[in-house]
Amino acid sequence: MYNRENVKRIKIAIRVIGLLLIFVPTIILSIFSVQISKVKEENRNLLVQNSLLTSDKSDSQELEYGSNGRVILDVYSDMVVPWRSEPVYATKEKTIYLTFDDGPSSKTKEILDILDQYDVKATFFVTGTEDEELLPLYKEIVDRGHALGMHSYSHDYDLIYSSTEAFLADMYKIYSLIKTQTGTAPVLFRYPGGSTNDWLEGNAYQKEIINEMEARGFIYHDWNVSSGDSSYYGLEAKEIHDNVINGIGSKTRSVVLMHDRARQGETVAALPSIIEELKANGYKFDKLTTSTKPFRFE
């Protein structure tokens, strides 16, 4: 028998169930996301603490000084450049500085072979790896006459830009790895994302991080030409080639950003034509050194 009150109650119940189906999963997801964020933050803090605890502090009871004489934080006392001249040399010749970020990778040897083929020297800003097959590549890059700089160990923006201590902990890992693999301490480095990336720029630690690395005597390099080979959509070799050539335009001195990663097949494919065209246009190629005046974002 039809009962208006029962029908009304059923409609209300359906609405309530519908609202619950919408809002309950949302609330659960929000709670879950908060918990994940807390766990990630705890893991980051633990990583930094572990790095600080395992660093050699035996000779760092007093504040150290970098090559420019400013006081630095009382950690990683061996990660200091004791002395270097100021990097002021800027060639007046038409010069290209090819730089490769994020290696070593399965593409590194292909890149090195192409550079050898054209008698070109370049600069590799490397990250960390535990892959036994890739570890020898740090030394091979140096042995083939190229410059080797730091690009952080983890390349984890959220981690390394979370504090000055976190940045130093990560940099110390790649600094130590390069020293172990090559026998030489690196001086050059590139900030992941460049010195004005969204994580670093405006960050409460930005000035502190930059001042800290400068105090230790390290030299960072940005770029003024991008190949675009790290595009999310993935570019073909022709597009990478055109980006480099058009980006250089009539510049006398160009620092070109490229990448050395397993997925950079198109970068490898574009490299010969880029070198050939630039050489035909009268450019020479060189690697960055501690004397080279850096190009930096304003």
Distances (CA, A) of 244 to 226, 263, 278: 6, 19, 10
Q: List the catalytic residue out of 101, 229, 260, 286.
A: 101
Question: 262 Cβ partners below 8 Å, 6+ apart?
Answer: 105, 106, 107
- CA neighbor of 151 nearest in space, from 96, 104, 215, 211: 104
In whole angstroms, give the CA distance from residue 18 to residue 73: 57
Amino acid at 30: S
Among the listed residues 221, 259, 260, 286, the single catalytic one is 259
* d(C-alpha 53, C-alpha 229), whole Å: 38
Reply yes or no on whether 241 is catalytic.
Answer: no
Tell me: cis bond preceding 104? Omega within 30 of 0 counts.
yes
Identify the DSSP state of 241: H
Which residue in the block uniquely carries the two structure tokens 């930005």?
Answer: 206
Provide the angle, in degrees to the nearest 10, between the axes of the packed helices 108-117 and 136-143: 10
- The residue assigned the tokens 């979370």 is 162
| φ/ψ (deg, to 5) at 8 | -60, -45
DSSP character for 254?
E
| Whether residue 116 lies in the annotated active site | no
- How many CB atoms sit inside 10 A of residue 181's CB? 19
Q: Which residues are catalytic?
A: 101, 259
